[in-house]
């Protein structure tokens, strides 16, 4: 059968969808799938999607109905769609909207569409603790004033998504206008079509159906721009939460460079500086700090210090549990989550859905790469043999200790030297987890080292020197995993990591994905000790990257030692 005559999609009863990449209808089918299916793997020829309850609830929140989804599956499926999949779609889509959260003059209430569902809610102890009084007006039940988020979080654990239509407070007004030309460079400010579409999908023209949710875009794709467009749409005072002080400074610089906000409008709230201004950028660390393990979080008052109209959660997949808790109590504020991946190692994606909001926008990494909005990444794993004495240390080490012995393999250092020579003239990041190893590498290659102990002013100077090309190589610890804007970095050498973490891999790769002039290629190396537990963990990273569609090569580092 001719390829054009076959349909590109295979729908399986285990909720897995296989989409043929080389088929003429691939892009058309992909665009129909993305609103209701999660892209799980995207290697060369066949992409894998999964249908999950949350992916279907995301679709329902975006306005799709079951007929839309079933029709899309049937339009592109090569074989008959399994009946169990159609039943799954109709069942999960029907759940969304059966419980609505609304507000009237007396406060918040749930409007439940079915008696059986109401009985289930009224007999759930985790939910009834948040209710105020009994049932009124047939199937409505009043919530305690603070319980809007808590109830949503409790119900989703029992497979009941809540359609939150209670709306938002406007917040103190603040006119935010994007510049036509960037203040720093004088170059025109271009908002890409997908960035504007993402912000509009979040805001939804100010309706109660919008105003909360998550935008998923790869590192380097300009999520900060999405945040600024959303701020301009909302037009209110904004609190921005980020992962570290470096990210605070980068957000401030971007806001002053690309909007008409002044330095008096934008404040920093960190361990060193406590400014409360119409736009305030704070770290998660300061928000979750407390003087004792069981004491209160003194900086949570920042959430109430001003009449915020919007709260932006940068790297929302890293949201700490205490910030989840306070977010459950500030549901009247519009909330925008920004992330490169919704993968959470603790599996709490449902908390992001219920407390921040549904996924409003997503686009595949490889699609932006093809359009040159991000760099094309070449990923290589170099396996490094251990010297005899180190293999002996590894053999007698405890199971817990073996990973570190392998990760700190001294023979990785000359491999780093060879790679730096190969990429002489490039901007290179050497990234690792263990400080002793990084100290040795920094001293050997005569490059500056940035760790958590490096004072923030010194970090800022080194990052700026690297951006300007005056420092060609930076050795950095895990502080570089998050929200680090080094647009000219085009080579990363990963010498050690955190047990194959997918989050960490996505973040580290993201450090070099910003578009480059010329060939627009980035090189990502991972050094792994051969025949050790480190190699086993590397399989997780390899699988994650190949699932995202990246070319991943494995080679021995032995040739580096033949000269």
Long-range contacts, stretch 298-307, CB < 8 angstroms, 24+ apart: 299/269, 300/326, 302/239, 302/269, 302/276, 303/239, 303/330, 305/276, 306/172, 306/237, 306/239, 306/276, 306/278, 306/280, 307/169, 307/171, 307/172, 307/237
Check residue 343 and give its pLDDT: 63
**Average pLDDT value for residue range 219-246:** 92
pLDDT tens across 251-310, in order? 999 999 999 999 999 999 998 899 999 999 999 999 998 988 888 899 999 998 899 999
Check residue 507 and give its pLDDT: 67
Check residue 4 and give its pLDDT: 46
**Among the CATH numbers 1.10.150.120, 3.40.50.300, 3.60.150.10, 3.30.1360.10, which is that of 193-363?**
3.40.50.300
Helix (H/G/I), strand (E/B), else coil: 33: helix
pTM: 0.80
**Average pLDDT value for residue range 537-543:** 75
The answer to whether the CB of 32 falls within 8 A of the CB of 73 is no
Residue 325: how many other CB atoms lie within 10 Å: 17
CATH code: domain 99-164 is: 3.30.780
Check residue 74 and give its pLDDT: 97
The answer to whether the CB of 426 falls within 8 A of the CB of 491 is yes
- In the chain, where are the structural domains located? 3-95, 99-164, 193-363, 374-561
pLDDT confidence of 502, banded at 50, 70, 90? low
Share of residues in the chain with pLDDT > 70 (%): 91
374-561 and 99-164 share a CATH fold: no
Q: What is the dihedral of CA 376, 247, 236, 265, to 10 degrees?
A: -130
pLDDT confidence of 490, banded at 50, 70, 90? confident
Bigger pLDDT: 250 vs 98: 98
* Token duo for residue 94: 């029907």
pLDDT tens across 78-117, in order? 999 999 999 999 999 999 999 999 999 899 999 999 999 9
Total residues found in the chain within this entry: 563
Cα 509 from Cα 193, distance rounded (Å): 24
Q: Which of 412, 447, 417 is nearest to 433 (CA)?
A: 412
CATH code: domain 374-561 is: 3.40.50.300
């Amino acid at each position: 059968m001719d390829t054009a005559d076959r349909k590109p999609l295979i729908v399986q009863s285990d909720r897995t969808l296989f989409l043929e990449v080389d088929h003429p209808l691939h892009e058309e089918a992909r665009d129909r799938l993305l609103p209701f299916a999660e892209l799980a793997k995207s290697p060369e020829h066949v992409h894998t999607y999964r249908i999950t309850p949350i992916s279907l609830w995301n679709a329902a929140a975006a306005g799709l109905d079951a007929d839309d989804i079933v029709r899309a599956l049937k339009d592109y499926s090569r074989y008959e769609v399994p009946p169990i999949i159609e039943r799954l779609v109709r069942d999960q889509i029907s759940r969304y909207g059966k419980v609505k959260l609304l507000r009237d003059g007396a406060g918040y209430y749930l409007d439940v569409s079915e008696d059986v569902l109401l009985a289930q809610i009224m007999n759930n102890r985790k939910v009834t603790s948040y209710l105020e009084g009994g049932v009124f007006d047939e199937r409505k039940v009043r919530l305690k004033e603070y319980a809007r988020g808590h109830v949503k979080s409790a119900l989703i654990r029992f497979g009941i998504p809540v359609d939150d239509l209670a709306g938002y407070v406007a917040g103190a007004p603040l006119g935010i206008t994007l510049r036509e030309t960037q203040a720093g460079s004088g170059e025109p400010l271009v908002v890409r079509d997908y960035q504007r579409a993402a912000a509009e999908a979040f805001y939804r023209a100010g309706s109660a159906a919008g105003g909360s949710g998550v935008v998923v875009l790869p590192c380097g794709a300009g999520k900060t721009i999405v945040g600024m467009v959303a701020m301009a749409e909302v037009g209110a005072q904004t609190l921005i939460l980020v992962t570290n002080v470096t990210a605070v400074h980068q957000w401030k610089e971007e806001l002053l460079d690309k909007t008409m906000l002044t330095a008096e409008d934008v404040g920093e709230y960190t361990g060193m500086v406590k400014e409360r201004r119409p736009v305030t950028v704070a770290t998660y660390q300061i928000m979750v700090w407390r003087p004792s393990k069981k004491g209160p979080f003194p900086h949570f008052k920042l959430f109430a210090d001003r009449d915020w109209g919007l709260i932006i959660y940068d790297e929302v997949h890293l949201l700490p549990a205490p910030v989840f808790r306070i977010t459950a109590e500030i549901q009247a504020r519009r909330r925008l989550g920004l992330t490169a991946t919704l993968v959470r190692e603790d599996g709490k994606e449902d908390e992001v859905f219920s407390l921040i909001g549904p996924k409003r926008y997503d686009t595949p990494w490889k699609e932006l790469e093809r359009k040159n909005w991000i760099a094309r990444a070449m990923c290589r794993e170099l396996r490094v043999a251990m010297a005899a004495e180190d293999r002996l240390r590894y053999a007698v080490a405890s199971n817990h200790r073996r990973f570190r012995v392998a990760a700190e393999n001294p023979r990785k250092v000359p491999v780093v030297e060879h790679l730096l020579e190969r990429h002489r003239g490039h901007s290179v990041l050497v990234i690792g987890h263990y400080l002793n190893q990084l100290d040795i590498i920094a001293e050997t290659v005569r490059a500056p080292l940035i760790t958590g102990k490096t004072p923030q002013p010194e970090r800022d100077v080194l990052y700026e020197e690297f951006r300007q090309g005056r420092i060609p190589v930076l050795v950095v610890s895990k502080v570089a995993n998050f929200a680090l804007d080094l647009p000219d970095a085009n080579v990363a050498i990963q010498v050690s990591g955190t047990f194959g973490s997918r989050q960490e891999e996505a973040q580290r790769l993201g450090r070099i994905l910003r578009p480059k002039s010329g060939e627009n290629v980035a090189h990502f190396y991972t050094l792994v000790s051969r025949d050790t537990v480190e190699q086993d963990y590397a399989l997780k990273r390899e699988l994650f990257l190949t699932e995202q569609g990246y070319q991943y090569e494995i080679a021995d580092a032995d040739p580096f030692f033949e000269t």
